[in-house]
Structure 1
Amino acid sequence: MAAPTTSTSNRVLRQEVLGSRRLSNYWWATVVSLGATGFLLAGISSYLKVNLLPFADPTKLLFIPQGIVMGLYGLAGLLVALYLWMMILLDVGGGYNEFNQETGYIRIFRWGFLGKNREIEVGCRIQDVQAIRVEIKEGLNPRRSIYLRVKGRRDIPLTRVGEPLPLSELENQGAQLARFLEVPIEGL
């Protein structure tokens, strides 16, 4: 997938953050939807004794227990698919990081789930930023993230969740941000 877009002027740096609208999420939502629909149609076919699938003949299955189990798997799969499509539709995790030297303010915005926390916004003053922290953890569950270290607060994550960024992109983004905010970079 393409790198997150960064727009900059002399005094404002804005980084777009990719949320749930990734190619891999579209792929898995489609695969789960198709598989779950097949299971559900197989369960219904075994009950009605009418073949609803063009590539198989589930009418020969006994409704109890195979047809019921396949129907339940299909329903469960469709619920998972609905969840995945809702995540994509709502673009959960998507948003932007805006560093504005004109106003002296940093705004980090992300989309969340429906409800009172649909819009998640964190802000702070640029003068409160102590450093940019880069975290690189390799292994079975790799993590490559950039954090904003702010006085009197926990570190604020700035990168997307899920797919780790390539090392070169992580280093470039961290260095660009540290130069723009005129703070040190930690962890490289």
Structure 2
Amino acid sequence: MKEKNMTKNEQKTSLETSVPTGTQNKLPIKAARNLIRRYIIIGERRISNYWWAFIVLLGSSGFLLSGICSYNYNAGNSSGILFNLLPFLDFKDIAFFPQGLLMSFYGGLGFLLSFYWWFLIFWNVGGGFNEFNKKEGFIRIFRWGYPGKNRRIDFTYPLKDLEAIKVELKQGLDPQRTIFLKLKGKKEIPITGIGEPLTLKEIEKQASELANFLDVSILT
């Protein structure tokens, strides 16, 4: 058998043709993506908020209808449409004043509270993202606020101003675990979501990953 001696140009051509079409163009894009990290902040659209908003709406509707039906019954209109909404309840022993009135008050209050809760979920107040861009050298903190002037809360900081990642732990009945970005000028920016309690293991893991990615130290 004769061995074929390949020149350097032939070897280069052989290697280039062995790479799938389009791979050479994709490699720089993949490398660029490794320089950008984005952490999503859920905000008010948490499963627990959906659950409690529904429970409050259901309970307050029951109280409100009960109060209205007790008034309807005591007013002598026991065959009315509102009374028939709750045919399984007996309103003979429920006087409109004060029981029915209190039920109507608390039912209406809970009804308004549930609607406010649903609006917070719809607007996703507190939701957004934290972006760390080593490719272009900036940190971007974005949050959704209440409708109006401050609906979009968007801050950008130079990556070179970042000095360290700070972790703050507060124990007690309402434990708080927060990650801060410590910038030049003793400025500290919280980046964890409000109302998103993280376990100690999760907060340590996230802070460690972020510090390694940004090549900064961790302060406690």
Counterparts of residues 13-162 of structure 1 (less than 5 Å): 13-49=37-73, 50-58=83-91, 60-152=93-185, 154-162=187-195
Q: Structure 2 CA distance, aligned partners of 1:91 and 1:137?
A: 26
CA RMSD of aligned residues (A): 1.6
Q: Structure 1 CA distance, aligned partners of 2:48 and 2:92?
A: 34
What residue ranges of structure 2 are gaps of 5+ in the alignment?
1-31, 74-82
Specify the SS of the correspondent of 1:61: coil
1:122-159 deviations in whole A, cap 9, x for unaligned? 21000000100011122211011111011125311111
Specify the SS of the correspondent of 1:58: coil
Confirm or deny: 8 A CA contact 1:32 1:81 kept in the other structure.
yes
Change (3 A) 1:59 1:94: farther
1:105-125 deviations in whole A, cap 9, x for unaligned? 110001111111111112100
- Structure number having the greater helix percentage: 2
What residue ranges of structure 1 are gaps of 5+ in the alignment?
1-7
1:42-93 deviations in whole A, cap 9, x for unaligned? 0110111224325422354222222221111111011110111111111111
Name 2:7's counterpart in structure 1. Answer: none
Specify the SS of the correspondent of 1:160: coil
Question: 4+ residue runs of structure 1 moved beyond 4 angstroms?
Answer: none
Q: Structure 1 CA distance, aligned partners of 2:92 and 2:51?
A: 30
Counterparts of residues 157-168 of structure 1 (less than 5 Å): 157-168=190-201
Name 1:178's counterpart in structure 2. Answer: 211
Q: TM-score, normalised by structure 2?
A: 0.77
Moved more, 10-19 or 55-64: 55-64
Specify the SS of the correspondent of 1:56: coil
Change (3 A) 1:93 1:40: same
Q: Structure 1 CA distance, aligned partners of 2:67 and 2:59?
A: 13
Q: Structure 1 CA distance, aligned partners of 2:172 and 2:98?
A: 43
Name 1:4's counterpart in structure 2. Answer: none
Counterpart AA for 1:21: R
1:9-64 deviations in whole A, cap 9, x for unaligned? 32101111111111111111011101100011001101112243254223542222
| Corresponding pairs, count | 180
Q: TM-score, normalised by structure 1?
A: 0.90
Change (3 A) 1:153 1:69: same
Q: Structure 1 CA distance, aligned partners of 2:132 and 2:158?
A: 9
